[in-house]
Amino acid sequence: MPEKQSRPITMAIVAMGGEGGGVLADWSIDLAEKMGYWAQTTSVPGVAQRTGSTIYYVEFIPNDGSGREPVLSTMPTPGEVDIVLASELMEAGRAVFRGFVTPDVTTLIASTNRMYSMQEKTAMADGRVSSEEILQSCEAASKRFVGADFAKVAEECGTVISASLFGALAGSGALPWSKEEFIAAVQRGGVGVEPSLKAFERAYEIAKNPKPKSAAPVAIEIGKKPEKPKDDGLTPEQELAIINDPSSAVGPALKEHALRIAKEFPEAVRVMLVHGIKRCADYQDVKYADEYLDRLLRINSLDAERGNGTYRLLNEVARYTALWMTYEDTIRVADLKSRRRRFDRVKKEAKVKEDQITQVREFFHPGVEEITDTLPGPLGRAILKSRMTSKFIERVTKEGLRLHTTSLHGYLLLYTLARLRPLRRRSLRFSLEQSRINDWLDVIFATASEDYDLAVEVAECANVIKGYGDTHRNGLNNFNAIMREVNSLRAKKSSGAANRIADLRRAALADESGTKLRELLTTSA
């Protein structure tokens, strides 16, 4: 083996194009040369500049004063990389996959934020990779893992991730130079020094004082948790309080409903039901919350009889019944968009300062059906039937509507639309959706006594219908196609029915046009 001192320190920076990986490499080189090292960096920018994965590779070796120039590698070697800096969690995972992170040598410093891949983003449902799994791999593959949301640190300091990663690099102690020398390199760089150093300092502290291994890795906006969202999610204590006393989580108008939940429904579904009654009452009126609970009664007794006590079926039916009953129509959208909470959120998101003014513009494009949806049934049907009127509405709405919500008339329009709630019960869409819901519940009820798992799948199928306009129409078609298959499977008393429906549901969510679903329906029918 070569002598230890003759081996250069090796460092790979894995990032996406445009993230400032080059700046990070430049600071490192400048620092190393100031400290009397030979330093070499190489990169492969090319088209990788445009948000693709890219890698910068750096080697340092002390100048031995002999004038001999070392021969440094232009590419990293798996098993021989001392430091890997990753600007994002999946990129850290990629470095692990490529073998650049190894347990005997590598200090892996990674930002745990996720920039989702196109594949993750374009899925109709939840296509995200588990962050937890990547984190565990990073931990297991490295000699030392420094993981935190360095992107967030940078953003909060008004700079970019190169600054916080450089701070983490200093804090990790993986390079033999002092903090002051690192800071001096940023100062020599001369661009955005102040915010850079702020982020540097915070990241330095994070890397310097790592949390003990047993503690959960810094959990800032990471992870796939479909069951319980992080923002606004309930803590276990809050959930327990709801289970013990559902009325603790509702206002005076819903107290009776909450009492009903406590009296008539099992503990396992109470949290879901409380969400459900609030949603329905908010959407329409208090009576609507009653109708919601009524719909679930027969499923409740059936699940008690056929289920294993976890109330899996009732829970999912409770979820999707509430979501379906609160389908998105023009009134609902106007209602949600004119709330104060929403304006507060918008301002926070845009980081509006004291002396600045915000204006909000909505992008609406109601189709003919969305308009007839909210009209009283007979009128809506009449318009849909009349080609002339439909054409006229199409012409008028063709360009869509750009509503200035922060102007008086724009706000009043939304406000007025939202107040049309009482009309909804007589609307075309309302009666349509109620009968669709009832049909779906009938199938679930009938199926549950024959095949519990299949009934759960049928409940989940409601998730296939989502979105607006064409997306909604396609979803409904896909849903109907799956329901036809459910009926034929029931008739055949097929044993693998639940699995089959689960596959079809996934296929329906694989693409928008329903191509995958049609393929699957024809190939194995």
Query: What is the closest distance, in whole angstroms, from the C-beta atom of residue 450 to another protein in the complex?
Result: 26
Query: What is the closest distance, in whole angstroms, from the C-beta atom of residue 205 to another protein in the complex?
Result: 24
Interface with another protein includes 16 (CB under 8 A)? yes
Interface with another protein includes 191 (CB under 8 A)? no
Query: What is the closest distance, in whole angstroms, from the C-beta atom of residue 494 to another protein in the complex?
Result: 27
Query: What is the closest distance, in whole angstroms, from the C-beta atom of residue 155 to another protein in the complex?
Result: 7
Query: What is the closest distance, in whole angstroms, from the C-beta atom of residue 169 to another protein in the complex?
Result: 18
Q: Which of residues 227-256 bind another protein (CB under 8 A)?
A: 227-234
Measured between alpha carbons, how far is 424 from 305 in angstroms, rounded to an integer?
A: 37
What mask of x and - would describe binding to another protein in positions 63 to 102, judged by CB under 8 A?
A: -----xxxxxxxxxxxxx---------xx-xx-xx-x-xx
Selected binder of another protein within 244, 248, 358, 488 (CB under 8 A): 358
Selected binder of another protein within 118, 215, 388, 525 (CB under 8 A): 118
Candidates 285-293, 299-307, 339-347, 447-455 — which segment interacts with another protein by CB under 8 A?
339-347
Q: Which of residues 125-144 bind another protein (CB under 8 A)?
A: 125-126, 128-130, 133-134, 137-138, 140-141
Smaller CB distance to another protein: residue 453 or 460?
460
Locate 372 and state its tokens: 């007839």
Measured between alpha carbons, how far is 495 from 492 in angstroms, rounded to an integer?
A: 9
Candidates 23-31, 175-183, 200-208, 494-502 — which segment interacts with another protein by CB under 8 A?
23-31
Interface with another protein includes 476 (CB under 8 A)? no
Interface with another protein includes 158 (CB under 8 A)? no
Selected binder of another protein within 34, 35, 48, 426 (CB under 8 A): 48
Measured between alpha carbons, how far is 20 from 111 in angstroms, rounded to an integer?
A: 14
Within 10 Å of residue 353's Cβ, how many Cβ atoms? 7
Residue (of 244, 343, 317, 325) closest to 284 by Cα position: 325
Locate 452 and state its tokens: 């519990």
Query: What is the closest distance, in whole angstroms, from the C-beta atom of residue 209 to another protein in the complex?
Result: 26
Selected binder of another protein within 179, 434, 468, 483 (CB under 8 A): 468
Interface with another protein includes 202 (CB under 8 A)? no
Parallel, antiparallel, or unpaired for β 401-404 and 37-43? unpaired
Token pair 């005997």 in the structure block, residue: 104
> Are 502 and 509 a contacting pair, CB within 8 Å?
no
Selected binder of another protein within 405, 427, 447, 478 (CB under 8 A): 405
Measured between alpha carbons, how far is 54 from 166 in angstroms, rounded to an integer?
A: 18
Selected binder of another protein within 11, 13, 24, 39 (CB under 8 A): 39
Candidates 204-212, 226-234, 255-263, 379-387 — which segment interacts with another protein by CB under 8 A?
226-234
Interface with another protein includes 195 (CB under 8 A)? no
User: Which amino acid appears at position 264 of this protein?
Assistant: E
Interface with another protein includes 210 (CB under 8 A)? no
Selected binder of another protein within 11, 31, 41, 183 (CB under 8 A): 41
Residue (of 308, 265, 317) closest to 457 by Cα position: 317
Smaller CB distance to another protein: residue 77 or 431?
77
Query: What is the closest distance, in whole angstroms, from the C-beta atom of residue 51 to another protein in the complex?
Result: 5
Query: What is the closest distance, in whole angstroms, from the C-beta atom of residue 290 to another protein in the complex?
Result: 18
Classify 156 as helix, strand or coil: helix
Smaller CB distance to another protein: residue 343 or 494?
343
User: Which amino acid appears at position 59 of this protein?
Assistant: E
Interface with another protein includes 518 (CB under 8 A)? no
Bridge partner list, 376: 427
State the number of binding residues for another protein (CB under 8 A). Answer: 143
Q: Output DSSP code: residue 310.
A: S
Selected binder of another protein within 11, 13, 61, 521 (CB under 8 A): 61
Bridge partner list, 147: 110
Measured between alpha carbons, how far is 288 from 276 in angstroms, rounded to an integer?
A: 10
Smaller CB distance to another protein: residue 75 or 388?
75
Query: What is the closest distance, in whole angstroms, from the C-beta atom of residue 483 to another protein in the complex?
Result: 19
Q: How far is CA 126 from the centre of its chain?
A: 8
Measured between alpha carbons, how far is 87 from 154 in angstroms, rounded to an integer?
A: 11
Smaller CB distance to another protein: residue 290 or 369?
369
Measured between alpha carbons, how far is 43 from 21 in angstroms, rounded to an integer?
A: 9
Smaller CB distance to another protein: residue 30 or 290?
30
Q: How far is CA 241 from the centre of its chain?
A: 27
Classify 460 as helix, strand or coil: helix
Smaller CB distance to another protein: residue 82 or 489?
82
Dihedral class, residue 469 (left if φ above 0, else alpha if ψ from -120 to 50, else beta) = left
Token pair 């990753």 in the structure block, residue: 86
Q: Which of residues 258-317 bind another protein (CB under 8 A)?
A: 272, 275-276, 279
Token pair 């030392």 in the structure block, residue: 144
Locate 315 and state its tokens: 């829970």
> Are 129 and 234 a contacting pair, CB within 8 Å?
no
Give the angle subtended at the CA of 332 by the CAs of 330 and 333, to the nearest 5°. 65
Interface with another protein includes 176 (CB under 8 A)? no
Measured between alpha carbons, how far is 494 from 519 in angstroms, rounded to an integer?
A: 20
**How far is residue 333 from each of residues 6, 276, 410, 414, 427, measured CA to CA in Å?**
67, 18, 14, 9, 16
Query: What is the closest distance, in whole angstroms, from the C-beta atom of residue 347 to another protein in the complex?
Result: 8
Interface with another protein includes 422 (CB under 8 A)? no
Interface with another protein includes 34 (CB under 8 A)? no
Locate 71 and state its tokens: 């021969």
